[in-house]
Structure 1
């Protein structure tokens, strides 16, 4: 059985690819950070499982449909494979903030979908990497170790919640996904 201690769950927009306040609505607007794709590949090659948990309320808002999202995720999987990696699972919430679902982060549903899809009993000890407070709150519901990246909305999140970067905070802060992966792989090598 896979171990949650070897799982990294990533938010998508702002962590893996450039975010947009106007939503990432199509393959043409989907711009992965090359360093993030390479970092995912390195994680996988080092024996880690990598999954994605992403709110995609643009579907509920009518900005794009699930077919467009599927094209973006197919391209993401292709690029990760080119980098020598594989995404174990992609969970997404297509609902809007008023849809009363249980999967929109910060609620736990997306992470529970990842847990179930990977056949894990729990996610305690896994890593949740995001650029917003809701990502970290979702991770906390499952006992994940939290990481905030400064890309995407990360700087805005830090400006609103400076306690996340304060000494003694349980949240680790990195410039980007590649910085976290550098630290994680070096830490595991010790």
Structure 2
């Protein structure tokens, strides 16, 4: 059994086309990846299938892709596959499904009153928002950044986040509320609101 300790090792093993890496990736990252997919789809079997599809996708994309952060690359792949499954099931209409409800919490920070899905349709706008959000999150305390990401990227419930951090659900809600306010101020300062 191989042991993966860092990004370079993972990419190197993928480049060598050593299939044992898939088992190690599953052992190291499978739980978290299935949890991300499960949070979106709310179905354990579909979450497992998304993770397996993500492994195949990553296997087929490395090489030529050489991600700087394999774990982030894998999580993004799992998340995108889960969202595509959700869209395919036509559950992503405004106000339906977990993603729409969670994203509504931060929709107020986008200009023009359109829903968030419409806002993000243009690549240019999407990139501006991603860059601003990344810059905003880098300025936050690590635990607050993690809470924000779990809620708005992984679609974890506030109860799940509270359990993971060993704090009350009310405390999570307060942190998220303050982060949304800070995000609004930041986006306004950046001219994106």
Shorter-chain TM-score tier = under 0.3
Relative to its length, the structure with more helix (as a share) is 2
User: Highest Rg: 1 or 2?
Assistant: 2
TM-score when scaled to structure 2? 0.25
Q: Which has the higher contact order (CA 8 A, sep 6+)?
A: 1
Q: Which structure has more strand as a fraction of its residues?
A: 1
- Scaled by the length of structure 1, what TM-score is found? 0.25
